[in-house]
Amino acid sequence: MTSKNVNSLQSISDRTKPTKEQLEHDFFTLLLNKREVAVKYGYSPYTIGTWLREWDIKRLDVIKYNSSSQVRKLRLAGTVLTDRQKSIIVGSILGDGSISKMDHVATKSARLYIGQKDSRKEYLVWLGEELQPFLRKISRRKQGNYLLATICHPVFNKFYDLFWVGGKEGRKCIPPNIEELLDEIALSIFYMDDGRLDTSSSTLSTCAFTIPENELLLSALKNKFDIEGKIKFMSVKYKDEKRIYPYLEFRREGHKKLHAVVDPLLHTCFEYKKLKAKDGTETVYRAPMTKGILIVG
């Protein structure tokens, strides 16, 4: 017997069969795949698969999102969101963004979606740059609009728990601690997505939220920024019925104070939403260069 064969037999004899808890940790916490687990313990992928069946460990085999090398590396490195990214996420969910969880039981992580029309593609690309390294892709939809999607990751779970009620068929909501979450960046993102500038007033579309939630949001704006506004209602015809939706309106001092907060942070795509100074001067936030962002389609 050659020395190579002897060493091989010796290494096999030193192996220890992993426990069920160890395998669950490897697959669901470390998010390793079957081949990586096999290498870790010195067994074949077939043997690992046998133990998965034996202990009834439901892997759902290569889950598209959480089994990706990108997610595994971020989780193992302990990568977290910055305060700026958290503010952008809060503003996006209040506006055009949506937070959701996958149907797969083993995924257990939320992701963020943000849609924008063609004319705001540059803004969406900027958001993708800001949300790195959690960006999954920016893709063109059939309708001609663009969609930003993050990876599924535990860092988004907190926002799902705060801003989403009712499970898969549920809706966005205003959380009780919105005053704590709302800052200048979040408010500017919200305004860019759902704000409107009129001659003597500004509005925020809040039709996705209940009346008590609108009141909670108004209170947060007053306490945090001294911005006063009112809840107004618009009538929209839907099929054969009229539906009433709320929105927030800001006039006079509230109108000016809102723009004093958001205008310096507006992306160049939204200069038309800016309250122009009488002397024509303005400070518009310029988005960083957006190289390296992949747009699919």
pTM reported for the whole predicted model = 0.72
Place 195 in a pLDDT band, splitting at 50, 70 and 90: very high
Helical ranges in the chain per DSSP H = 3-13, 20-24, 34-41, 45-54, 69-77, 83-94, 121-130, 157-163, 178-181, 184-194, 211-225, 252-262
Per-residue confidence (pLDDT) for residue 278, from 0 to 100: 63
Give tens-digit pLDDT for 84-121.
Answer: 999 999 999 999 999 998 765 455 789 999 999 888 88
Per-residue confidence (pLDDT) for residue 26, from 0 to 100: 81
SS3 190: helix
Give tens-digit pLDDT for 6-61.
Answer: 344 335 556 788 998 888 888 766 667 788 888 889 899 889 888 888 888 765 33
Place 4 in a pLDDT band, splitting at 50, 70 and 90: very low
What is the spatial distance between Cα 146 and Cα 225, in angstroms, rounded to a whole number?
A: 32
Inform me whether the pLDDT recorded for 142 exceeds 80.
no
Burial class (CB within 10 angstroms; exposed 0-12, middle 13-18, buried 19+) of 255: buried
Per-residue confidence (pLDDT) for residue 10, from 0 to 100: 36
Phi–psi pair at 118, nearest 5 degrees: -55, -40
* Residue 99 structure tokens: 């937070």
* Residue 25 structure tokens: 């940790």
Inform me whether the pLDDT recorded for 297 exceeds 50.
no
Helix (H) or strand (E) holding 202: strand 201-205
* Residue 205 structure tokens: 């579309």
Give tens-digit pLDDT for 216-267.
Answer: 999 999 999 999 999 999 887 777 788 888 999 999 999 999 999 999 999 9
More reliable by pLDDT, 144 or 252:
252
* Residue 243 structure tokens: 């539906």
Place 191 in a pLDDT band, splitting at 50, 70 and 90: very high
Which of 179, 203, 181, 206 has its CA nearest to residue 258? Answer: 203
Q: What is the mean pLDDT of the chain?
A: 82
